[in-house]
Structure 1
Amino acid sequence: MTELTAIGGPSAWHSGDFDGRDDWMLELTDAERAEIDEAIRLSRSLDIQAISRVDFPLPGLSARLAQLRTRIKDGAAFGYVRGIPVERYDRETQLRVYWGLSRYIGDPIPQNRNGHMMGHVIDVGDRPDNVDRRLTQSNAELAFHSDSCDVVGLLCVRTAMRGGTSAIVSAIAVHDEMLRRDPELCATLYEPVVLDRRGEVPPGKAPWFEMPVFTRHNGQFNGYGPLPQYIESSQRFADAPRLTERQRAAIDLFYAICADDRFCLRIPFKPGDIQFLQNHLIFHSRTAFEDWPESARKRHLIRIWLSLPDGRELPSIFLNKWTNITRGTKRGGAIVTEGKTPMIPFEPEIRAFA
């Protein structure tokens, strides 16, 4: 590899850069909420998955959503929508609005082998040490990581009694700080790291895969944040490459920088928020949480994965995890099991591979 250099640019932010700023937040006005209500009415005869931007017209709000999309794609790589009145919508309407707004950002893609086009992030009692499950249906901490899509969205329906705080960090800022502190360990993360597929194994593939944390392709930087539990559980497979001490040291430094308050931006969710993040430039996490005793008050987020038709070119090694990387197509997401039809579950499914 050629000598590494710092990357910088508008996506290389520090948490303090947003002190006193709210340009990352699209707070809905009463007039924009009225537009959404009218779009609900106009799209009501359509199945949610059939809704396009044309079917969910937002004549005033669409311009602000376009600005938010540009920010996500080419700027700080994240943005929020605030003020969706989720408390007065039933579940079907919540999902309809979420889908309709998300269509102004990208194209929804399946999130798991069951073909779920939206996923419920809620504690259903999964044990975080279950190596055949994802971690999102537990109340455990999630370290900084990436999802397998261009953009991930999270709609907040309810917050936890305590904890569950969302945090994001600039992948470029983490890279550049790591390069400053220890160039050799930074270079190590340009080499593949082995990860567990956690039971979602495509036909003909091993139950583990390899992916670098940092890549550069066609002059662009890409980050891929691995969950530490997935790194460690990959070692249960005898044919998986063994983690080296150098890799462990690099991963430890990576997570330490991600969690550093100078880099990590913590933004508490409010009900009615949507968080949109570009996965190639943002790593995201959440703290562990304690839920309300009443099941109707449990912390509940709804996730959507989006493909950007005008997104960046990706290196071929992404095919180790992604189903497709071709720019201009619906890329990323999960391989849906043969015989399964893409669908939107209105409520959490205990065995949904969320």
Structure 2
Amino acid sequence: MNEHTVTEIGWSSQELEARRELWSLALTDGERQRLWVDAHAGRWGAAGPVRERLRAFVRESAGSVGLTHVGNLVDPSLPEEEITEALSFLLRDFGRIVPQNGRGDLTSVLRDQDGDGNTELGFHCDTCDLLVLLCLQPAYHGGGLTKLASARHVHDLIERERPDALATLREDWTFDRTGRAGPQVVVTPILYPRKGGTIGCYYQTRTVRSSPDRGGPELTDRQWEALGVLDEVLYRPEIAFGLPMAAGDLLIIRNSRVLHGRSAYVDEPGPHARRMLRIWLNEGETWAP
């Protein structure tokens, strides 16, 4: 995965909240309107200065904190198809859209499926450089927060408390993703040092635990223990930051730096049902000036 290194910041939930200016940017209604006029036209014009401001902010925040939140990016009253097309144009500045599943879907709308919103979605990393989430409609009764955890902070905590478990997490693990988009088998450490001193992460709790059932290597007692240590740290109250997103808000997560999940929620049928537009990006050379 490509990465333009900016000074990396590890953070707890309180630290992230206290430093919102590093990663959260709110657009004015005028800025939003100019962006979307150009996006609908499919070419850049009057929104050029807003575009450059957004590009610079995303590059800095995704490089340091590992995520970017942009408030008021979209008028959520627009038709879903129109929003998706315009957003796909805007995202060309940040990467190439890649398929999310074996069917080759380039976009998907996340919503409650048979009540699965009632269950918290555990921490994991998606198999792309940048995960993009656009809130179309938040959960009507609250909940459904996007949960975020800093790989650097988690790594450093485990290094201090359980260096033996960290040594195991730094070894290669097998993630069997048969039938999904991208590599069918991923062999990688879960937490690991990268060039330039940054900390990388790759974690999918179900695929790493079920890989032996698909012919992968059996997990050792030492590996099971290390996974338990990782999960215990991830679910400490001070680790996870719960981000409420309003309709029209955008979130970009660098998968190599930040693990994400979702808190539980009770959905409301009909137009108030929670809906999140998801897009996967790989960066390539698009971040070059």
State the TM-score, normalizing by the size of structure 1.
0.71
Query: Using a 3 Å threshold, how does the CA distance of structure 1 residues 99 and 56 change in structure 2: closer, same or farther?
Result: farther
Q: What residue is the counterpart of 1:307 in the other structure?
A: 282
CA 250–116 in structure 1, closer or farther in 2 if over 3 Å, else same: same
> CA shift at 1:219, angstroms?
4.1
Kindly tell me: are residues 31 and 216 of structure 1, through their superposed partners in 2, closer, same or farther at Cα, counting changes over 3 Å? Answer: same
Residue 255 of structure 1 is aligned with which of 202, 213, 231?
A: 231
Give ranges in structure 1 of 5+ residues lacking alignment. Answer: 1-8, 44-53, 129-137, 313-327, 329-354
| Equivalence map 1:8-157=2 (5 Å) | 10-23=8-21, 24-43=23-42, 54-55=43-44, 58-125=47-114, 140-157=119-136
Once the two structures are TM-superposed, the CA of residue 32 in structure 1 deviates from its matched residue by: 0.3
Is 1:296 matched with 2:285?
A: no
Is 1:179 the equivalent of 2:168? no
Q: Go from structure 1 to structure 2 and tell me whether the alpha carbon gap of 1:150 and 1:297 turns closer, same or farther (over 3 Å shift).
A: same
- Give the share of equivalent positions with the same residue, in percent: 26
Q: 1:139 to 1:192 in 2, by over 3 A?
A: farther
Query: For 2:40 and 2:211, how far apart are their aligned partners in 1?
Result: 48
Distance 1:254 1:56, change over 3 A: farther
Q: Structure 1 residues 172, 311: CA separation in 2 closer, same or farther (over 3 Å shift)?
A: farther
Q: Does 1:210 align with 2:187?
A: yes
SS state at 1:210 partner: strand
Verify: 1:168 aligned to 2:148, yes or no: yes
Q: Provide runs of 4+ in structure 1 moved above 4 Å.
A: 54-57
Classify 1:253/1:311 alpha carbon distance in 2 versus 1 (closer, same or farther; 3 Å).
farther
Q: Deviations over 1:104-152 (max 9, x none)?
A: 22221221222211122112338x7xxxxxxxxx653221111111111
- In terms of fraction of residues, the more helix-rich structure is 2
Q: Which amino acid aligns with 1:300?
A: R
C-alpha contact (below 8 Å) 2:62/2:68 kept by paired residues: no
Deviation at 1:181, TM superposition (A): 0.4
Match of 2:255 among 271, 279, 304: 279
AA at the equivalent of 1:179 = E
Q: Which one is further off, 266-275 or 95-104?
A: 95-104
- 2:149–2:259: 8 Å Cα contact kept in structure 1? yes
Q: Which moved more, 1:245-254 or 1:212-221?
A: 212-221
Distance (whole Å) between structure 2 residues aligned to residue 98 and residue 189 of structure 1: 37
Give the number of equivalent residue pairs: 280
Deviation of 1:175 (Å): 0.5
Q: Relative contact order: is structure 1 or structure 2 higher (C-alpha 8 Å, sep ≥ 6)? A: 2
2:138 to 128, 139, 159: 159
Indicate whether 1:245 and 2:230 are aligned.
Answer: no
The 8 Å contact of residues 93 and 286 in structure 2, kept in 1 or not, is answered as no
Which amino acid letter does the alignment assign opposite residue 245 of structure 2?
F
Per the normalisation by structure 2, the TM-score is 0.86
CA–CA distance in 1 between the matches of 2:120 and 2:165? 25
- In 2 relative to 1, CA 13–291 (structure 1 residues): closer, same or farther, beyond 3 Å? same
Question: Residue type matched to 1:246 in 2?
Answer: R
Alpha-carbon contact 1:12-1:172 (below 8 Å) kept: yes
Kept in 2, the 8 Å contact 1:171–1:283? The answer is: yes
What SS does the corresponding residue of 2:68 show, helix, strand or coil?
strand
Give the superposed CA RMSD: 2.6
Structure 2: which amino acid aligns with 1:174?
A: V
Q: Return 117-126 or 267-276, whichever deviates more.
A: 117-126
